[in-house]
Amino acid sequence: MRYLTRELQRDLQKKMVLLAGPRQCGKTTLAKSLLDKHGQYLNWDITKDRRIIREIAWPKDASLVVLDELHKAPKWKNLLKGVVDEFGNKPPLLVTGSARLDAFRRTGDALTGRHHFYRMHPIDVAESKRFLPTMPLEERVRRLLESGGFPEAFLNPQEAARLRNDRMELVTREDLRDLSRVNSWRGPADLIELLRERVGKPTNYDNLAQSLGVSPPTVKSWVELLEKLYIVFLLPPYSTRLSRSIRKDRRIFFYDCAAAYDQSGGAQLENLVACSLLKFTQFRKDSAGENWDLYYLRDKEGREVDFVITRNRRVHWLIEVKSSDDTIGTSLNYYTRKLKPTASIQVVLHLHRSQEKSGIKILPLGKWLEMLPAYHDEQIL
């Protein structure tokens, strides 16, 4: 059972649900797991299913209808609008697709007020226990750092590199073509390779453009496409002035937390935490409508904090990531005093015991990430 099962079952009783996310993160498997013998699974890529979808000919007394890859249909939003307006929520509809579903959803207002929307993520530390319940926490963390969180790769770590390459190629060759007017997939594919060397670093479009032999606006457009396709996500810098955050460089991370080219392992570790925090904030937004956001922090003096999480635009957590050092950084100390967050936390991969110094908690990285979804309790928040 995946982490969205309960929320999808709840919301499907009220409205149509759209489920988007990276390719191969488990959307179709989750959707099919919600079907009983009275449910229907229809895939636009299958010819006989396509005819049923076009004619809206699925049984109206079905317990649930799953429409997969529907975004490939012409005017799919108008089709769904017509179905909801005519039949209401009988039967419940679950529409799944890749990141294109999210990108296309934002254009126009045909579905406004007619659906709930969820973004599904790969496996993180907390969810890994559902897949490998007998494996110790430290080994599950190590496996995520080596294989990433996409289910097939996580369960077959010896195949992780091959599966990653296949997934990247599939997205750049097929999804990119469907989403954009990019003439060749080779440029974005080369860009992905360069970005894998820059995980956790600011996106410098001029440098990337020089390496690729194209213009900075072209590189920026490619990065935006990769973001829409759920290959990468970009964190903005935190600032009390929103306009400053928009203008400054964003930092790049991959949804595949093991994608970084990094001999030391520091980039993978930071990417793992970034993925877990993004999954948490988006889950709270999608499931409860709460206003959580994820940033990084760097000022003109070079003081940095790896992650800032805000709730209702106020700083809730300051989070610093370390491999083995339990010495509190001067930047985290400074911004704890200046911003007065609900909690300042330094998570350390190799830490024997939890500590607290000057109001800053020093916690084992694996244990903290494993308990992160339990933060639904207001007393903990």
Eight-state DSSP code of residue 260: -
Q: Please, how many CA atoms are within 13 Å of residue 202, restricted to the half-sphere of its CB? A: 12
69 three-state secondary structure: coil
Is residue 109 within 8 Å of residue 115, measured between CB atoms? no
pLDDT in tens, 103-150: 555 555 566 778 899 999 999 999 999 999 999 999 999 999 999 999
Residue 315 — φ and ψ, nearest 5°?
-65, 120
Rounded to the nearest 5 degrees, what angle is found at the Cα of 252, between the Cα atoms of 159 and 327? Answer: 95
Backbone angles phi, psi at 351, to 5 degrees: -140, 130
Domain boundaries, the chain: 5-119, 124-381
pLDDT digits (tens, 9 = 90+) for 217-230: 999 999 998 998 89
Contact 341, 318 (CB under 8 A): yes
The predicted-structure confidence for 16-50, as pLDDT tens digits, reads as follows: 999 999 999 999 999 999 999 999 999 999 999 99
User: Which stretch of 17-31, 71-85, 343-357 has the lowest confidence by average pLDDT?
Assistant: 71-85
For the chain, give percent helix, strand, coil, nearest 5: 45, 20, 35
DSSP 8-state assignment for residue 72: G
Tell me, what amino acid is at 120? M
Outline where 106-136 has alpha helix (H).
Answer: 125-131
Contact 68, 42 (CB under 8 A): yes
Mean pLDDT value across residues 345-362: 93
Cα(16)–Cα(119) distance, integer angstroms: 14
CB proximity list for 261: less than 8 A, separation 6 or greater: 196, 197, 267
73 Cβ contact partners less than 8 Å away, ≥ 6 residues apart: 44, 50, 53, 54, 79
Share of the chain above pLDDT 70, in %: 91
Q: Which CATH superfamily is domain 5-119 in?
A: P-loop containing nucleotide triphosphate hydrolases (3.40.50.300)
CA distances 212 to 172, 175, 176, 186, 209, Å, are: 16, 21, 18, 10, 5
The H-or-E segment that residue 297 falls in is: strand 292-298
**What predicted TM-score, i.e. pTM, was given to this entire model?**
0.92
What pLDDT, on a 0 to 100 scale, did the predictor assign at position 379?
A: 42
CA 179/CA 142 separation, integer angstroms: 35
Tens-place pLDDT, residues 233-280: 999 999 876 555 555 789 999 999 999 998 778 999 999 999 999 999
Task: For residue 146, give the 3-state DSSP assignment.
Answer: helix
Beta bridge partners, 296, equal 237
Asked if residue 180 has pLDDT above 80, the reply is no
